[in-house]
Amino acid sequence: MGRILIRGGRILDPAASRDEVADVLIEDGKIAAIGAGLDASGTTAIDAAGCWVAPGFVDLHTHLREPGQEYKEDIASGGRSAVAGGFTTVCCMANTHPVNDDPAVTDYILDRARQDSPARVLPIAAATRGLEGRVMTEMSALQKAGAVAFSDDGRTLMDGAVMRRVLEYARMIGAPVSVHAEDRHLVGQGVVNEGAVSTRLGLPGSPAAAETVLVARDLLLAELTGGHLHVAHVSTAGSVDLIRAARERGVHVTAEVTPHHLTLTDEAALGYDTNTKMAPPLRSASDVRACRQGLVDGVLDAIATDHAPHAPHEKDVEFTAAPPGVLGFETAFPVVMDLVRTGEITPLELMRRLSTTPARILRLRSGTLAVGAEADVVVLDPDREWVYDPMKGWSKSHNSPWAGKTMRGRAVATIVAGRLVYDADRGMLVP
Ligand code: DOR
């Protein structure tokens, strides 16, 4: 394996609270040294002047669609899209076909990932069989096969007694339970946030309370059981408040927020663009403000993309009929850079939310640039301007609310296990 020297970048390593200009030497797949003026002989040199060098991003929430819906995405295309966005590890949700509720499916995903994906792929297995919310999966066997967490994502687990048992069992085996908190009865037919926007659009609304009541239930169940609750894609001010209060009284809870819920309000849907339809829906300006503040305060620990590819024929229909979800990997960094530009968060803290903390939530060894650590590294140009064209992206799908928008900030080089797998100017460097 070759040696790589990343020269003269601004090192942002949240794990060591390091923010300084230096070189990074990578050797034998590991971080070998960090310092000024490291010897470049015999290395592939990457000029990082004016760029940031950070631990590769870790995405706690993505949909790779394989097995079963490879027309939307597969592990190869999703893995490429991930590294093009600076993600070196992605956790894929269980709502595949078949559902990842059996170790054979977990094995299959890991096997395909080893062969096809430049990003590391970690499966999140279903909490209940078929995501039906009734019978728990064999969580221990799934964990032994490689599942890192459990979730019925996309299908809220509505039965509180089952949820309690899932949390109890997950606690015994030391795994987090990631929840898509939306009370299905309160959501009803809702396809956008309930409020002035849903009225103007004449579309059925889903109230913020549909999320918040479920977050309240699950926090209480986490408290009851001692299980590790991870709240996926937080979108309401009420959820942020409840998570903050629960954390203060010692509940084992972590939470994530998406780039879209941090930057777009429900008004983005006023043009009936189905690429603004997601679950949970885009919310009001005050919810967005609360999510941003929650991220800044660390109440929301991590940024996760909820990368959710859907094919054009599925999205190019009336709003009520379109499936919810948007692409996430390739736009995540420039989109959340908005919080750095407004001065809400420092670059170092942003990197913590994209890499170090999500890695810690899953107790991964990544998320650090410590000497001796696996070399999962991203080089970011915080100022590079580019126009995002999903047709030219790496995903098989194109459903993004940012299509055609000028982006500022880009992953320019991504290294996984010491191998340069992506370079923004040269493209994908894997077969
Ligand atoms: O927007 C979403 N899309 N939310 C979900 O919970 C599921 C996801 C998907 O699988 O498309």
List the pLDDT tens digit at each of the 431 positions of the chain. Answer: 689 999 999 999 999 999 999 999 999 999 999 999 999 889 999 999 999 999 999 999 999 999 999 999 999 999 999 999 999 999 999 999 999 999 999 999 999 999 999 999 999 999 999 999 999 999 999 999 999 999 999 899 999 999 999 999 999 999 999 999 999 999 999 999 999 999 999 999 999 999 999 999 999 999 999 999 999 999 999 999 999 999 999 999 999 999 999 999 999 999 999 999 999 999 999 999 999 999 999 999 999 999 999 999 999 999 999 999 999 999 999 999 999 999 999 999 999 999 999 999 999 999 999 999 999 999 999 999 999 999 999 999 999 999 999 999 999 999 999 999 999 999 999 87
The Cα–Cα gap between 260 and 307 comes to: 11
Whether this model's pTM surpasses 0.85: yes
As a whole number of angstroms, the distance between CA 127 and CA 163 comes to 9
Q: Using DSSP, state whether 380 is helix, strand or coil.
A: strand
Nearest by Cα to 400 from 302, 332, 303: 332
Q: Which two tokens stand for residue 389?
A: 């064209």
Roughly how many angstroms between the first and final C-alpha of the chain, as a whole number?
16
Q: Is-catalytic flag, 306?
A: yes
Q: How many CA atoms lie within 13 A of 258 on its CB side?
A: 28
Q: Where are the alpha helices (DSSP H) in 58-138?
A: 75-84, 103-116
Q: Give the per-residue pLDDT at 1.
A: 63
How is residue 274 written in tokens?
A: 């189905």
Task: Give the span between the Cα atoms of 397 and 161, in whole angstroms.
Answer: 38
Of 306, 381, 389, 423, which residue is the catalytic one? 306
Ligand 1: atom nearest CA of 278 is 1
- Which fold would CATH assign to domain 3-53+373-428? Urease, subunit C; domain 1 (2.30.40)
Name residue 413's beta-bridge partners: 379, 423
Please say whether the beta carbons of 424 and 410 come within 8 A.
yes
Kindly give the distance from the C-alpha atom of residue 325 to the centroid of ligand 1, in angstroms, as a whole number. 5
Rounded distance between C-alpha atoms, residue 55 and residue 423, angstroms: 16
The CATH fold of domain 56-361? TIM Barrel (3.20.20)
CA of 277 relative to ligand 1 center, distance in Å: 10
- Ligand 1 pocket test, candidate residues 61, 63, 277, most atoms within 8 A of CB: 63
Distance 329 CA to ligand 1 centre (A): 14
Q: Which residues 6+ apart lie within 8 Å of 332 measured at CB?
A: 57, 59, 85, 86, 87, 259, 303, 305, 354
Sign of CA dihedral 366, 368, 369, 370: negative
Q: What is the distance between the alpha carbons of residues 395 and 87, in angstroms, rounded to a whole number?
A: 14
* DSSP H or E run through 427: strand 427-428
Domain boundaries, the chain: 3-53+373-428, 56-361
Q: What is the pLDDT of residues 286-296, one digit of tens each?
A: 999 999 999 99
Q: In 3-state terms, what secondary structure has residue 26?
A: strand
